[in-house]
Each structure stands twice: as C-alpha cells, then as structure tokens.
Amino acid sequence: MKSRLFMSLLVALFMMGNVFAGTPLEDGLVLKGEFSQIGGRSVKPQLPISANFEGNVLCVDFTSPVGVVNVVIKDATQNVYASSINVTASGQRFAISVEDYEAGTYTIEFRNSNGGYVYGEFTLM
C-alpha cells in the first residue's frame, strides 16, 4: 500500500513538472550591451530595448527606432528561435511565445546593422 501511494505521488509530481515547463522564473529580463548610435557621448546611453514576460510570452519593447534587429534565442546547445524585425518607431512591440520551450536557461540576443549587440538570459522551469 505504501509503495502504491509513493508511486502515485511521484507520477503526480512528474505531471506537475511538465505542466510548469515553459514558465519563466522571473517577469523581467536584465539586458546588457548597447546599440551603436551616431554621435559622441560622455555617458552610457540607455538601452532602447526592454523585455519582460506576460505569462508564457516574452514581450520585447523598443523605446526608439533602431532599424533592422536580428533576434536569436539559444539554449545551451543550439538556436531555438531566430527572427528579424524592422523597428521604425518608438513603442514598437515584439512578442515571442515560450510555451513550448523545455525547462532550462536561455540566452536572447539582439543585433542591429550598426554593430549593436544586446543580450540577456532567462530561465524557464
């Protein structure tokens, strides 16, 4: 009887683990890097990108036009997502569903044609 109860508990925990796969551990991403911009500056410019989770959707917001941006999401072994977006206006939003992603740590990278590079990491459980 005890072994049957123990096995039922293990199966329930395994099923719950699969239900939560693709769920982010935190809502916002810390992004690092910079997009190249024309002109001199004496202080580090603010990033024109912010990213946060709304449920299982990663929402990327652009605060200024930065041109064509290549977006890549990688896990430890390979690219799992790649796309391009032409950011022509401030306030533009880009959404990526992570619902079908396996649990683990991912890196997201943004590159623009001016040599800009911004990246961040997120973990799904």
**What string of H, E and C letters represents the secondary structure of the chain?**
CHHHHHHHHHHHHHHHHHHHCCCECCCECCCEEECCCCCCCCCCCCCCEEEEEECCEEEEEECCCCEEEEEEEECCCCEEEEEEEEECCCCCEEEEECCCCCCEEEEEEEEECCCCEEEEEEEEC
At residue 73, does pLDDT exceed 60? yes
Q: Tens of pLDDT along 18-61?
A: 344 455 656 688 999 987 654 445 455 688 999 999 999 999 99
For residue 7, name the pLDDT band (cuts at 50, 70, 90).
Answer: very low
pTM across the whole model: 0.74
What per-residue confidence (pLDDT) applies to 94? 94
Domains of the chain: 2-124 (2.60.40.3080)
